[in-house]
């Protein structure tokens, strides 16, 4: 691996430092190179390339909004013996504490950034004689993403859709439920799904949803702080409903009330928020069921039961 990294990063020195480690899915290692420090995520599975291509594209998209700090991605490098690595900027992270409110505010800025682009592009179009397209990024009017991104190691179907409810029901919930049926042959979730899908449109009565760029896997393990502000990493990005982001944030802890206060000051809760939050959490419970097994069946079923009531 070190030879491949040296060649691809065009560095003669490659000195590991720190304790390495990493999250639940990939190994992580920091290196000193000729050009400075990098953090490398290493995964030996055959699907690693797809996972890391998606992560790089997500980091890149979030970076371009200039709203919330993410590690700057460098490149994806295949390993000679299979698997792949993602090289990114090394950041000296510690547990998030005093920058919680900043995280809330900057996350709202991220979610509002696409709508702001629409505003500024509309204004530009009305200004005769002015050059168009000052921004590095364009307004996106659909839900999805230009590449597959993975939540955990499972790929998300990011094919573009103009209707959010269709996107979320078919390309998020149904995909997970199909996997559960295939893997576990579970009847109960199948029966509940046939009822739940009829209820979903009613949870969105009259809402107009502008696509928002989402981190997509914002649990407490994917946020940290640097000396000067918060940072988020390990995204499963796509354009979706902003409320979706708060689903997993509420499931495993790690976000305090100052985060939510700051977030909702910029992006207030719409009517029906709490019930939709449950719907969005259902995706993550199903995704956990598919990753880690039937330990997550109980929570998945009870959310489905609550939602069909
Ligand atoms: N750019 C970086 N610089 C320094 N350390 C990092 C960087 N990115 C991640 N880390 C460290 O590695 C840990 C795991 O990172 P990450 O969440 O990306 O891995 P993962 O295997 O995808 O995790 P999981 O699937 O469990 O969420 C982080 O908690 C952090 O301590
Ligand atoms: Mg992670």
CATH, residue 100 = 3.90.1200.10
Residues 76 and 113 reside in one and the same domain: no
Residues with CB under 6 A from ligand 1: 22-26, 28, 30, 39, 41, 71, 88-91, 93, 221-222, 233-234
Tell me how far the alpha carbon of residue 22 lies from the centroid of ligand 1, in angstroms. Answer: 5
Tell me how far the alpha carbon of residue 28 lies from the centroid of ligand 2, in angstroms. Answer: 11
292 is a domain residue: yes
Nearest CA to ligand 1 atom 12: 22
| Per-residue CA distances from 299 to 177, 189, 217, 235, 309 (Å) | 14, 11, 18, 24, 16
| Residue 287 C-beta-side C-alpha neighbours within 13 Å | 22
**Per-residue three-class SS string for 131-158:** CCCCCCCCCCCCEECCCCEEECCEEECC
Residues 89 and 99 reside in one and the same domain: no
The best mutation among 233, 251, 252 to test binding of ligand 1, ranked by most ligand atoms within 8 Å of the C-beta, falls on: 233
Residues 47 and 106 reside in one and the same domain: no
The best mutation among 88, 234, 236, 288 to test binding of ligand 1, ranked by most ligand atoms within 8 Å of the C-beta, falls on: 234
245 is a domain residue: yes
What number does the ligand 1 atom closest to the CA of 43 have?
21
212 is a domain residue: yes
Nearest CA to ligand 1 atom 11: 22
Q: Which of 217, 228, 234, 256 is catalytic?
A: 217
| Residue 160 C-beta-side C-alpha neighbours within 13 Å | 8
Buried b (16+ CB within 10 A) or exposed e, 63-84: bebebbbbbebbebbebeeebb
The ligand that comes nearest to the alpha carbon of residue 20 is 1
CATH number of domain containing 57: 3.30.200.20
Q: Is 292 exposed, middle or buried (0-12, 13-18, 19+ CB in 10 A)?
A: exposed
Residues 44 and 177 reside in one and the same domain: no
Residues 90 and 110 reside in one and the same domain: no
The ligand that comes nearest to the alpha carbon of residue 93 is 1
2 is a domain residue: no
Tell me how far the alpha carbon of residue 21 lies from the centroid of ligand 1, in angstroms. Answer: 8
Residues 287 and 169 reside in one and the same domain: yes
Domain count, the chain: 2
Q: Is 217 a catalytic residue?
A: yes
135 is a domain residue: no
Residues 224 and 85 reside in one and the same domain: no
Which pLDDT tens digits describe the chain residue by residue (309 residues)? Answer: 999 999 999 999 999 998 777 777 899 999 999 999 999 999 999 999 999 999 999 999 999 999 999 999 999 999 999 999 999 999 999 999 999 999 999 999 999 999 999 999 888 888 766 555 567 789 999 999 999 999 999 999 999 999 999 999 999 999 999 999 999 999 999 999 999 999 999 999 989 999 999 999 999 999 999 999 999 999 999 999 999 999 999 999 999 999 999 999 999 999 999 999 999 999 999 999 999 999 999 999 999 999 999
The ligand that comes nearest to the alpha carbon of residue 54 is 1
What number does the ligand 1 atom closest to the CA of 234 have?
18
3 is a domain residue: no
Nearest CA to ligand 1 atom 27: 23
Total-model pTM: 0.96
Residues 204 and 246 reside in one and the same domain: yes
Domain with 161, as residue range(s), is 95-125+142-308
Residues 108 and 119 reside in one and the same domain: yes
Strand order in the sheet with 84-89: 14-17, 27-33, 36-43, 84-89, 73-78
Beta bridge partners of 87: 40, 75
The ligand that comes nearest to the alpha carbon of residue 70 is 1
Residues 195 and 84 reside in one and the same domain: no
5 is a domain residue: no
Tell me how far the alpha carbon of residue 215 lies from the centroid of ligand 1, in angstroms. Answer: 14
The best mutation among 26, 28, 44 to test binding of ligand 1, ranked by most ligand atoms within 8 Å of the C-beta, falls on: 28
Residues 69 and 87 reside in one and the same domain: yes
Alpha carbons 250 and 296: distance in angstroms, whole number: 16
Residues 265 and 281 reside in one and the same domain: yes
What pLDDT is recorded for position 216?
98
- Among candidate residues 304, 35, 269, 42, the one with its CA nearest the CA of residue 196: 304
134 is a domain residue: no
| Per-residue CA distances from 219 to 108, 234, 245, 246, 292 (Å) | 16, 10, 9, 9, 16
CA angle 22, 24, 25 (to 5 degrees): 90
Neighbours of 10 (CB within 10 A): 9
Tell me how far the alpha carbon of residue 133 lies from the centroid of ligand 2, in angstroms. Answer: 34
């Amino acid at each position: 691996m070190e030879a491949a990294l040296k060649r691809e990063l065009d560095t003669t020195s490659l000195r590991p430092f720190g304790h390495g480690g990493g999250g639940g899915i990939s190994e992580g290692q920091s290196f000193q190179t000729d050009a400075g420090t990098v953090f490398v995520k290493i995964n030996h599975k055959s699907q690693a390339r797809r996972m890391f291509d998606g992560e790089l594209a997500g980091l890149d998209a979030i970076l371009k909004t200039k709203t919330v700090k993410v590690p700057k991605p460098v490149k994806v490098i295949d390993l000679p013996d299979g698997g792949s690595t993602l090289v990114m900027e090394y950041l000296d992270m510690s547990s998030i504490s005093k920058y919680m409110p900043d995280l809330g505010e900057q996350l709202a800025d991220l979610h509002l950034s696409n709508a702001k682009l629409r505003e500024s592009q509309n204004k530009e179009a009305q200004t005769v004689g002015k050059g168009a397209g000052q921004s590095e990024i364009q307004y996106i009017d659909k839900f999805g993403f230009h590449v597959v991104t993975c939540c955990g190691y499972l790929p998300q179907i990011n094919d573009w859709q103009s209707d959010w409810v269709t996107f979320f029901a078919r390309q998020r919930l149904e995909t997970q439920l199909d996997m559960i049926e295939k893997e576990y042959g579970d009847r109960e979730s199948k029966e509940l799904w046939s009822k739940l899908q009829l209820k979903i449109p009613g949870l969105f009565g009259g809402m107009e949803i502008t696509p928002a760029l989402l981190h997509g896997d914002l649990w407490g393990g994917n946020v940290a702080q640097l000396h000067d502000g918060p940072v988020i990493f390990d995204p499963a990005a796509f354009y979706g409903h902003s409320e979706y982001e708060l689903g997993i944030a509420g499931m495993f802890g790690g976000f305090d009330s100052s985060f939510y206060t700051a977030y909702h000051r910029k992006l207030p809760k719409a009517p029906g928020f709490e019930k939709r939050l449950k719907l969005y959490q259902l995706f993550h419970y199903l995704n956990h069921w598919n990753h880690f097994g039937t330990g997550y069946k109980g929570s998945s079923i009870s959310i489905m039961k609550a939602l069909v009531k």
